[in-house]
C-alpha cells in the first residue's frame, strides 16, 4: 500500500462502517487521505471515523446517510464540503432468493439501496467533480453481475445495474477528466458472511464456512483488505489509463472452475 499516497485527497466511502467499506476507508486514511465515512448508522459512523483518525493520524469524518434518500444524500455531500476527489460506493445489502421466492417488497428494497443509492451518490459526486475538472469513482459490483448464481435473483439484478451504470458514467464523463470503474468480488469474508452462516446453519457453521470458501477455486474467501488494496491502485495515478472497466476479484471463480 505504501507506493499509493493520497495526501490531502478528499474521499467519500459509503457503507464504510463495516466490511469492505471500512477496510477501504482505513486503507485510504493510512495513505494520507481525508476520508468521509458514510453509513446508515450515524453514531457508528462517527465513532469509527474517530477511531480511524486516531490510528492513521489523518482527518476522518463520520456521517449518517440513507443512500436511497435523495435529501439525505444531498445533505451528506454538502456537509463534507464543496470538493471531492474520489467516491467509493460500497453501501449495499444482500438477499437470498430466486424469482418466485423474492417478494415485490424485497425487490424494491434491493433496488432502493443498491441501485438508486449508487445512482444518487454518483450524481452528487459528479456535480462536484465536473466543477473541479476531474475525479474518480469506484463502484462495488459483484461476480453476481455477470454470473448466474443460484438464489441470488434480486441481488444479481442490482449488481448488474451497478456494472451498467459504471460503464455509462465512464463513457459520458471521460471528457470531464472523470474515471469510473467497478470491482466485482467473489465471496469476501465479512461480518455479513458470519451472520448469514450463524443464522441459517446453526450447529453447522464450520461445515458451511468451508463449503463457501471452496466455492472459489483458490480455496478460500477474499478479505476486505485485499479489495481495499485494489481500490487504492484503481484510484492512484498508476491506474490513470483505466476507466470503464469491471475488475473481477474472484479467486479463479470465472476461469478456473
> Each residue of 168-214: pLDDT tens digit?
999 999 999 999 999 999 999 998 888 888 888 899 999 999 999 99
Asked whether the whole model's pTM tops 0.85, one would answer yes
Confirm whether 155 is a catalytic residue: yes
- Which three three-digit cell numbers place residue 52? 480511524
Per-residue model confidence as pLDDT tens digits over 84-119: 999 999 999 999 999 999 999 999 999 999 999 999
Angle of helix 191-200 relative to helix 205-214, nearest 10 degrees, comes to 130
Per-residue model confidence as pLDDT tens digits over 48-83: 999 999 999 899 999 999 999 999 999 999 999 889
pLDDT at 211: 92
Alpha-carbon span 184 to 150, nearest angstrom: 17
- Which three three-digit cell numbers place residue 70? 435523495
Radius of gyration of the chain (CA): 18
In the predicted structure, residue 1 carries a pLDDT above the cut 50? no
User: Of the residues 155, 173, 201, 233, which is catalytic?
Assistant: 155
- Which three three-digit cell numbers place residue 131? 466543477
- Which three three-digit cell numbers place residue 158? 442490482
Per-domain residue ranges for the chain?
10-185+224-243, 191-221
In the predicted structure, residue 3 carries a pLDDT above the cut 70? no
In the predicted structure, residue 9 carries a pLDDT above the cut 70? yes
Q: Which CATH class is domain 10-185+224-243?
A: alpha beta
In the predicted structure, residue 216 carries a pLDDT above the cut 50? yes
Average pLDDT, the chain: 95
DSSP string, 64-100: E--TT-HHHHHHHHHHH-S--SEEEE-------B-TT
Amino acid at each position: 500500500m505504501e507506493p499509493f499516497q493520497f495526501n490531502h485527497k478528499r474521499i467519500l466511502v459509503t457503507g464504510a462502517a463495516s466490511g469492505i467499506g471500512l477496510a477501504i476507508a482505513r486503507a485510504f486514511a493510512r495513505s494520507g487521505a481525508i476520508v468521509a465515512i458514510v453509513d446508515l448508522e450515524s453514531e457508528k459512523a462517527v465513532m469509527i471515523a474517530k477511531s480511524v483518525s486516531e490510528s492513521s493520524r489523518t482527518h476522518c469524518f463520520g456521517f449518517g446517510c440513507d443512500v436511497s434518500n435523495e435529501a439525505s444524500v444531498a445533505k451528506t455531500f454538502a456537509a463534507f464540503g464543496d470538493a471531492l476527489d474520489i467516491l467509493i460506493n460500497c453501501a449495499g445489502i444482500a438477499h437470498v432468493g430466486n424469482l418466485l421466492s423474492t417478494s415485490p417488497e424485497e425487490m424494491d428494497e434491493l433496488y432502493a439501496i443498491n441501485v438508486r443509492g449508487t445512482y444518487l451518490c454518483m450524481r452528487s459526486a459528479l456535480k462536484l467533480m465536473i466543477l473541479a475538472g476531474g475525479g474518480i469513482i469506484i463502484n462495488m459490483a459483484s461476480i453476481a453481475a455477470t454470473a448466474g448464481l443460484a438464489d441470488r435473483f434480486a441481488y444479481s439484478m442490482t449488481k448488474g445495474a451497478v456494472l451498467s451504470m459504471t460503464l455509462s458514467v465512464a463513457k459520458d464523463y471521460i471528457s470531464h477528466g472523470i474515471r469510473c470503474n467497478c470491482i466485482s468480488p467473489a465471496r469476501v469474508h465479512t461480518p455479513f458472511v458470519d451472520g448469514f452462516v450463524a443464522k441459517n446453519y446453526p450447529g453447522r457453521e464450520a461445515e458451511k464456512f468451508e463449503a463457501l470458501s471452496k466455492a472459489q477455486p483458490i480455496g478460500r474467501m477474499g478479505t476486505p483488505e485485499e479489495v481495499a488494496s485494489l481500490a487504492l491502485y484503481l484510484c492512484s495515478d498508476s491506474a490513470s489509463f483505466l476507466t470503464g472497466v469491471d475488475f473481477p476479484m474472484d479467486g479463479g471463480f470465472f476461469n478456473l472452475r
